Chain A
Amino acid sequence: MSKTVIFERRYGVNVNDFSTTEEIDEVVEKRIGRKLGMVKLEDHGIAHSRGNVFKLRKYDIDSKLEEILRGMK
């Protein structure tokens, strides 16, 4: 299996040529013609303002995944 499943094919690059997230960001920004924004991908609807934000964050991704997998036929 190649190292990336989308990036190298879509952007015509070799991921081995990159060492940092900053370098990756530059390639993507050049292609899409704008600076990357920070997004909060869809999660389980849990507010981040209470308790330990880091543990909740982890819970969000796994909860979303479980929610989709449970709903599958």
Chain B
Amino acid sequence: MDIDTLFNFYKSDFIPAYSDLVGYIGDKPQQVLIELENILSHLSQYFDSGITLQDKQINIQKAYDHLHRVTLDCYKLLWISIYNRLEEIEKDKSTRRLGLNMSEAEFLSRMQRIRKLAQGARRKELESVGLNPMASLDLYKEVVT
């Protein structure tokens, strides 16, 4: 693990995830800010000249792990936010029938689809714990597309 890899991931994966979430909800989620704070703490240790090379490596890896986590969290929070709004429509019969630019049947079918996709993404994430933490990233993105 090196600092370039971490910042490449920040630019190529975290920034798009963050922009999707903040661009959708129009606010900054506390949960994301706390993870970013954790990342900064570990990075400051990485640049501390008073610690050993081994400890620097441990800290850069921890920062990378937090960055992975917060990237996935952005998509999970985005999905939860979208799902909550759709669920309100689903529960309101008149909006469901008259307030959409698609038929009620199509709306319900799409709701079922995003539920299945979310379940698949979550399953993949749990199967990949400790092996490939980002394996479920594209699946989570597909859920909110």
Q: A residues touching B (Cβ–Cβ < 8 Å)?
A: 1, 3-8, 10-11, 15, 18-21, 24-25, 27-28, 32, 36-43, 53-54, 57-58, 60-62, 64-66, 68-69, 72-73
Q: B residues touching A (Cβ–Cβ < 8 Å)?
A: 11-12, 15-16, 18-20, 22-31, 33-36, 38, 69, 73, 76-81, 83-84, 112, 115, 118-119, 122, 138, 141-142, 144-145
Known pairs A28-B23, A40-B29; list 20 more (Cβ under 8 Å). Answer: A4-B20, A5-B144, A6-B20, A6-B23, A21-B18, A21-B22, A24-B15, A24-B19, A24-B22, A27-B23, A28-B22, A36-B26, A39-B27, A42-B84, A43-B31, A54-B38, A57-B35, A58-B73, A65-B80, A69-B122
Cα-based distance from A19 to B10 in the complex (angstroms): 8
Contacts of B35 in A (CB 8 A): 57
Cα-based distance from A35 to B54 in the complex (angstroms): 41
Residue with the highest number of chain A CB atoms closer than 10 Å, among B23, B31, B69, B78? B23
Quick one: given A69-B122, A72-B115, are A58 and B30 in contact (CB under 8 Å)? Answer: no
A58 to chain B, nearest CB (A): 7
Cα-based distance from A54 to B79 in the complex (angstroms): 21
Contacts of B34 in A (CB 8 A): 53-54, 57
